[in-house]
Structure 1
Amino acid sequence: MTTSETVSFGYEEIPAEEKQARVGAVFSSVAKKYDIMNDAMSGGMHRLWKDRFVRRVKPRAGESILDMAGGTGDIAFRMAPSGADITVSDINQDMLDVGMERAEKRGISGLSWSCQNAEELSFDDRTFDAYTIAFGIRNVTHIDKALAEAFRVLKRGGRFYCLEFSTTEWPGFAQAYDVYSHKLVPQIGKAIAGDADSYRYLIESIRRFPKMREFEGMIRTAGFRHTKVEPIMGGLVAIHSGWKV
């Protein structure tokens, strides 16, 4: 008798083949309120984290960048003034639709939008100079496959940057944040987006994500070299990077 592979969906263990659809339902539910909720949950600090992230990426005119899980466009909009050729990809078309609508309202043109599964990208080998993913990799079913695909589509000398929640190591703050995230965030989600369950999942998914050094090891296993972790707020959020050499 064979047992189906299971993966985490928040604190729940589910068959691996179910996760993509369930995560998709979460993001379809929250797409239109996603950016408002980011402000509410982080007190606007996600904007500073994303600014810092893009400064580390250093997008340049003429290079090709894949912004995976780019959904509503926050990272791409910050990189657009550089003149880089940016492809915004997300597995969820509802998120991309919100991003394209936001880009039109802001008068941001020249971005490419592509519905893609991070674990099975349709792009050719060695297509991009940089690969970015912000607050998205913890939602894929198989993180190792997504990292392998990132490595594959990068050119030799290409760079990988990931912004993701982690586990803060600041004494006291970790406990306070734990209470806030588990008790208050779902209620904020219910009040603003009419959806407590989706935000309960998003918080639980943060708790199940590998710790900073463990995730750095996964990035190295995928083939990246010169890996680095930059903790923010003691590791509440971290910028991970690596190079394809």
Structure 2
Amino acid sequence: MSETVSYGFQQVAPEEKTRRVGSVFARVAARYDIMNDLMSGGLHRSWKDAFVSMLRPRAGEQILDMAGGTGDIAFRMAEKGAQVTVADINPAMLDVGIERAAKRGLTDLVWREQNAEKLDFPDAHFDAYTIAFGIRNVTDIPAALREAHRVLRYGGRFFCLEFSTTEWPGFGQIYDAYSHKVVPKIGKLVARDEEAYRYLVESIRRFPPMPEFAKMITAAGFSRVSVRPILGGLVAIHSGWKV
């Protein structure tokens, strides 16, 4: 990893990014899901539905949901009978997810505080690995992808849902204006933290385009890597197999 990494539009030391990102999510955890609804107009729910539908979780499968925080993806997979371990580096996000799970009567989920770059799980432990809107906040993305490959069994699948860059003419400019000018203001009003949401918007802009991220997944050891753009690539579902 290089001596500096991007924290939004800034370049900082790797350990500084990890610290700052941790602070961002600790501050916004309680209102994270409300903000997702407001920022996306509720569309994030259909994106997550499509993500889990593509994964096709099956009863009895062991699935690791990394950066799973508030449980949105895990709840959907648990409904299909999968045995889900929710992992997140941020204990505040896990606390929100555990509380939400209790209200839903979901008692079989496993909750673990984990760093995506250095997981505690043994080799070849899971049937699937999911990460939704979390990979761009990882300090060392290639390391996290290698860890995802390591903990998957042969025949296991990797699925990542993340913001990207839309290729629809005109739409990208409209979304840029909305995200940079409006989203931080919503964050200030609702989450009482404009700076946190300014970072989250900037982190999307710094995330690699779809073809580049697909190459990173391949470099981590995955095969049959593919991408499904949504809204022209505003959001993308990347997938790969460990074979």
TM-score band (shorter)?
Answer: over 0.9
Offset, 1:82: 1.3
SS in 1 for 2:60: coil
Of the three residues 167, 170, 175, the one matched with 1:169 is: 167
Q: Report Cα offsets for 1:24-68 as digits up to 9, x if no partner.
A: 000000000000000000000000000000001100011100000
Offset, 1:19: 1.0
Q: Residue 94 of structure 2 corresponds to which residue in structure 1?
A: 96
1:42-191 equivalences in 2 (<5 Å)? 42-191=40-189
Q: Structure 1: how far apart are the matches of 2:81 and 2:14?
A: 39
Offset, 1:109: 1.8
Of the three residues 15, 33, 36, the one matched with 2:34 is: 36
Offset, 1:196: 0.3
Offset, 1:167: 0.2
SS in 1 for 2:79: helix
Q: Can you give the 5+ residue segments of structure 2 that lack an aligned partner in the other structure?
A: none
The one-letter code of the counterpart of 1:104 is A
Q: Structure 2: how far apart are the matches of 1:51 and 1:85?
A: 18
Q: Report Cα offsets for 1:97-156 as digits up to 9, x if no partner.
A: 000000111112200000000000000000000000000000000100000000000000
Q: Structure 1: how far apart are the matches of 2:121 and 2:15?
A: 23
Q: Structure 1: how far apart are the matches of 2:240 and 2:192?
A: 38
Normalising by structure 1, we get a TM-score of: 0.98
Residue identity over aligned pairs, in percent, reads: 69
Q: Structure 2: how far apart are the matches of 1:184 and 1:62?
A: 43
Offset, 1:226: 0.4
1:12 aligns with 2:10: yes
Q: Report Cα offsets for 1:155-188 as digits up to 9, x if no partner.
A: 0000000000000000010000000000000000
SS in 2 for 1:114: strand
Number of paired residues? 242
CA RMSD of aligned residues (A): 0.6
Q: Structure 1: how far apart are the matches of 2:237 and 2:138?
A: 18
The one-letter code of the counterpart of 2:47 is W
SS in 2 for 1:113: strand
Q: Structure 2: how far apart are the matches of 1:87 and 1:14?
A: 31
Normalising by structure 2, we get a TM-score of: 0.99
Q: Which moved more, 1:99-108 or 1:88-97?
A: 99-108
Q: Report Cα offsets for 1:65-93 as digits up to 9, x if no partner.
A: 00000000000001111111100000000
Of the three residues 234, 237, 240, the one matched with 1:239 is: 237
Q: Can you give the 5+ residue segments of structure 1 that lack an aligned partner in the other structure?
A: none
